Copies of this chain bind each other. A is one copy, B any other.
Amino acid sequence: MLAEIITIGDELLIGQVIDTNSAFVAKQLNKIGVSVYQITSVQDNKAHILKALNEAEDNADIIILTGGLGPTKDDITKRTIAEYFNDTLVKDESVLNNIETIWKQHVRTELLQVNKDQALVPSKATVLMNKLGTAPGMWMEKGNKVFISLPGVPYEMQALIEYKVLPKLKDKYHCPYILHKTLLVYGLGESALAARVEAWEDALPNHIKLAYLPNLGKMRLRLSTKGFDEHLLKKEVQEQIDKVLPLIKDEFAGFEDEEGSVEIVIAKQLTKLGKTLAIAESCTGGTVAERFTINSGASLYFKGGIVTYSTASKMNVLKVSKTDIDTYSVVSSQVAESMAQNALKLFQSDFAIATTGNAGPKKGDSDAEVGTVFIAIATKKEVYSQEFNFGNSRVKVINKAVNKALEMFLKEIFKN
């Protein structure tokens, strides 16, 4: 069963907006055994959308469109789909009721004709009611193929996928089981890792695919397969993992969570241990904290964080000693360790992570080279730190520092 995702909107093609919808839809489809053949981003242009629909119908069984369903004149997806199906738009009373309800609860101004017109849907469409917004989802069939049009607003689209689209797709198709298992590997480059596991990779059965995903200091090694016997697939993949783990035992840092991040692995382990975390950040500017707090359940283990961006705030707020700063500079192992220890005390946590460095582009309150970062981990018993140089691209330095801090902390909490 193959799907194609078509995202519609000029904002994507001028680079004003990053398309996050496609990755969400793809991941959800994978969970119910639907593979995505292609993702295509097209303009708010009738001819272009029609061409994309035609091509997608050749490539895929399930075509999911997002975007272009708003009330304004630049939104033309609905009319274009109606044309593609030789259909006309008719008023749907249930959608109109939903629009009126949302208007009463959240907007409270007069309901305009353009809003009422959002209740117009192609006569052949099944409405997927959007409780979170005024643009309805639409489900249309052509032979054994399904065309699904969803609003582009991410949380509206996400709710429709989860509660309307996936259940209907599972009803309609008998889908295989898709299994991805991703190993997190630190400290080995892509080619060194490939050389290490070469014999194993060459002996992999044909239906298990392997991918290498390098990302700023960490590697992800992904095994993927699909089929109808879930139990057998899991067993086969586990056998391969059992074979590869001894080859990378010093570099293997854990499995990536289903939801896809190291910070979730850390969150689960901290929650399991009943331990808490505090974070003191300089060059990473709140990004380490944000990586944890964006996930629900963070309040169970995350006590708090401090971003001491200025030297004065390192002294006044985090109580790093002036002597240490004068002697070693703000970008030093001594200051990183002091930040971690003091954050641990201040927030009364079991662990603390600290970062201090120079992300560039210019040198700051320290003579340290651009790219120099110290990362410290404090526990109730000890504190330690490491020095890194992450190059001279600001965003890269920040993200590499965040990844490295998470890696060091992951190793800390899985120590025995």
Q: Which residues from chain B contact A364 at a C-beta distance below 8 Å?
A: 299
- Tell me whether A247 is interfacial, beta carbon within 8 Å: no
Q: Contact at B296–A360, with CB atoms within 8 Å?
A: yes
> 1/0 per residue A50-73: CB within 8 Å of B?
001001000000000000001111
> 1/0 per residue A14-25: CB within 8 Å of B?
111111101111
Interface size of A in residues (CB-CB distance below 8 Å): 111
Q: Which residues from chain B contact A275 at a C-beta distance below 8 Å?
A: none
Task: Report how many copies the assembly holds.
Answer: 2
> 1/0 per residue A307-328: CB within 8 Å of B?
1111011001100000000000
Main secondary structure of the interface of A (DSSP, over half): mixed
- Tell me whether A346 is interfacial, beta carbon within 8 Å: yes
Q: Which residues from chain B contact A313 at a C-beta distance below 8 Å?
A: 303-304, 346-347
Which residue of chain B has its CB nearest to the CB of A13?
B36
Q: Contact at B114–A195, with CB atoms within 8 Å?
A: yes
Q: Contact at A72–B10, with CB atoms within 8 Å?
A: no
Chain B min CB distance to A154 (Å): 8
- Pick out which of these stretches binds chain B: A41-49, A140-148, A167-175, A227-235: A41-49
Q: Which of B42, B107, B304 contacts A309 (CB 8 A)?
A: B304
- Pick out which of these stretches binds chain B: A86-94, A209-217, A407-415: A209-217
Measured CB to CB, the residues of A under 8 A from B are 10-20, 22-30, 35-44, 48, 52, 55, 70-75, 107, 109, 112, 114-115, 132, 153, 155, 158-159, 180, 182, 189-192, 194-195, 201, 209-214, 220, 222, 224, 260, 279, 281, 284-290, 292-294, 296, 298-299, 302-310, 312-313, 316-317, 346-348, 359-362, 364-365, 391, 393-396, 398
Listed A/B pairs (28) with beta-carbon separation below 8 Å: A10-B211, A12-B22, A12-B26, A13-B35, A13-B36, A15-B28, A15-B30, A16-B23, A16-B180, A16-B222, A22-B41, A38-B52, A39-B41, A55-B55, A74-B210, A74-B212, A286-B286, A286-B289, A289-B290, A299-B365, A303-B310, A304-B307, A304-B308, A304-B313, A305-B306, A305-B307, A316-B347, A317-B346
